[in-house]
Amino acid sequence: MGNNSRNISDYTKFIVDLRRHMWMAGIEMELRRLIWQIAVTGKYISAKIHESNRKLAGLRNIHGDEQLALDKSADVILQNQLQYSGFVKAYCSEELDRIVPYEAPSSKYHVTADPLDGSSLVDTNLAIGTIIGIHRDSPLAAEGRKTMVGAMYITYGPLITMVYSAGKGTHEFVLNREGEYVLSEENITLDEKGSIYSLGGLRKDWLPEHLKYVEVLEGEGYKLRYSGGFVPDINQILIKRGGVFTYPGTRKDPKGKLRLIFELQPMAFLAEQAGGMATDGKQDILAIRPESLNHRSPIYIGSRYEVEKAREFLT
């Protein structure tokens, strides 16, 4: 279980499914059940994606973004699965304008969700995903480092994969033909320095400090890898063992584009558990207290070298 093999045929030698892995890791029972329930929900979202007709819903979410029918469907699926699970005290997502309390008084977990990150890529058949954060208190109560106990994302691509952490490393699972999530890579560890970068935003809108930072990476021979989807780009950095994803503050959006609670906190949790870093260019993402559900922030996330290098230019 200690190596990081991606040879799927090796699963026949020693198969470790998600529930067994969490039990062996000593994760508390209620959190294990919640993570497993969300992973199962990913199967239903995947099925909905495959029957999609690619059409827009003709609506905008509370942040002003155009909603695909799939965004709404994924959110409804998550709500339906979690509301009656008994594990969730409250739920909030990018598609809602408030935190929704559930009647589960014995539960202590608050779940945040980007139900379908990158849904605009569906019509081009690129990978998309679901991002989940798990908190012991309201995500608005304090900075993420004080409230978060877990995070995960599910990638819907050629393979359906799930990456999770409950504070004991970052681990990848693959959904097999039997419908089980089986361990693919345990204790993913980012190298100190990578060789790829994913750059969000238009170059013409970048601020001078960020542009100088990118020019340094270009001078060191970094290879550009950018899909336009946060989940597949972060997944690539984790699986390739390093690099950096950045969506900076720009002239148009000084506070950045990505949302702290729904996107950045969960990915920062996973990156840190893999030995990496995530900052807004000045402070750690998990050290920022959200001002609202719609709080946005610049992001530099990945290997320590690249993220610390960004700080040299931005602080």
Mean pLDDT of 179-191: 96
Mean pLDDT of 89-112: 90
Residues 6+ apart with CB under 8 A from 136: 108, 109, 110, 147, 148, 149
Q: Is the pLDDT of residue 2 over 50?
A: no
Contact between 268 and 301 under an 8 Å Cβ cutoff? The reply is yes
Residue 51 has what pLDDT?
79
- Alpha-carbon gap, residue 151 to 114, rounded angstroms: 12
Q: What is the pLDDT of residues 39-69, one digit of tens each?
A: 999 999 999 888 765 554 344 444 444 446 7
Q: What is the pLDDT of residues 296-310, one digit of tens each?
A: 999 999 999 999 999
Sheet containing strand 244-247, edge to edge, reads 223-224, 196-199, 244-247, 299-302, 277-279
Provide the token pair at 168.
Answer: 């004991």
Mean pLDDT of 256-265: 97
Name the pTM for this structure: 0.91
Q: Is the pLDDT of residue 87 over 50?
A: yes
Contact between 71 and 57 under an 8 Å Cβ cutoff? The reply is yes
Burial of 191 (0-12, 13-18, 19+ CB in 10 A): middle
Amino acid at 111: V
Residue showing tokens 């995530």: 278
Collapsing DSSP to helix, strand or coil, 81 comes out as helix
